[in-house]
A = this chain, B = another copy of it.
Amino acid sequence: MRTPRISNAIIKRLPVYRRYLGQLQRQGVKKISSNELSAIIGFTASQIRQDLNTFGEFGQQGYGYSVDYLFGKVNEILGLDREYKTVVIGAGNIGKAIANYTYYYKIGFNIIGIFDANPAVIGTECNDVIVQDIEGLREFVEANNVDVGVICVNRENAQAVADLLVDAGVSGIWNFAPIDLEIPKSVALESVHLSDGLHTLSFKMKSISESK
């Protein structure tokens, strides 16, 4: 399916639809209305209908959506109907956590290489993948047509690693370093800012405490 032009807001909501639809599948639910989805997800029913209509006709008025069909379609829209060759740079706690996560939940991002600059870490194993010297990163990415690089190094080294990954030809970067990377528009970038979530949490705590 070719993707229509859609807003950043929908792009952020699509993974949320996928997550809840996956939960419904695991619970054995077959059909769901936009009102029922709304009650679970928290978006309004009209928002949900509007979002899904952006991509085609997935349900019939009054009959609801097939959970399996919709889950498959959302996967397709998100580009999750294929696998991505992925490398992790930085074999510290975050790097290993990501490698374990993608391995354990089998989410289509296959970690085929892990790289680090620390001699004490090079040669150790993580889910049957041996940590390699970062000196070999560029050659590995080029030789294996790696799709995605996951940056788990510190703030100081993150931009240099990103530049190298871009030069070597990756299509996407998933960044965990607390820095805003500069990346050409031809490469997709998604950054996880852990502090944002923590600050949202403190805001919510403050609001609850003031309302008591």
Query: Which of A's residues lie within 8 Å of B, judged by CB?
Result: 2-3, 11-12, 14-16, 18-19, 23, 77-80, 84, 92-94, 96-98, 100-102, 105, 107-109, 147-148, 171-174, 178, 180, 185-190, 192-210, 212
User: Does B78 lie within 8 Å of A15, measured CB to CB?
Assistant: no
User: Does B194 lie within 8 Å of A190, measured CB to CB?
Assistant: no
Contacts A80-B199, A93-B94, A148-B205 known; list 5 others, CB within 8 Å.
Answer: A19-B193, A19-B195, A78-B202, A105-B178, A190-B198
In the complex formed, the residue of B with least CB distance to A96 is B93
Which residues from B are CB-within-8-Å of A203?
3, 11, 14-15, 77-79
Complex CA–CA separation, A102 to B93 (angstroms): 13
Which residues from B are CB-within-8-Å of A210?
2-3
Which residue among A186, A187, A202 has the maximum number of chain B CB atoms within 10 Å of its CB?
A202
Which residues from B are CB-within-8-Å of A15?
193, 195-197, 199-200, 203
Complex CA–CA separation, A152 to B76 (angstroms): 30
Which residues from B are CB-within-8-Å of A101?
194
The 3 closest A-B pairs by CB, nearest first: A79-B206, A188-B204, A93-B97
User: Does A204 lie within 8 Å of B178, measured CB to CB?
Assistant: no
User: Does A202 lie within 8 Å of B3, measured CB to CB?
Assistant: no
Which residues from B are CB-within-8-Å of A108?
202
In the complex formed, the residue of B with least CB distance to A155 is B105
User: Does A84 lie within 8 Å of B3, measured CB to CB?
Assistant: no
Can you name 9 A-B residue pairings with CB atoms under 8 Å?
A3-B210, A11-B203, A14-B199, A78-B199, A79-B205, A84-B202, A147-B205, A148-B201, A190-B204
User: Does B174 lie within 8 Å of A209, measured CB to CB?
Assistant: no
User: Does B201 lie within 8 Å of A190, measured CB to CB?
Assistant: yes
In the complex formed, the residue of B with least CB distance to A170 is B205
User: Does B207 lie within 8 Å of A3, measured CB to CB?
Assistant: yes
In the complex formed, the residue of B with least CB distance to A202 is B79
User: Does A205 lie within 8 Å of B192, measured CB to CB?
Assistant: no
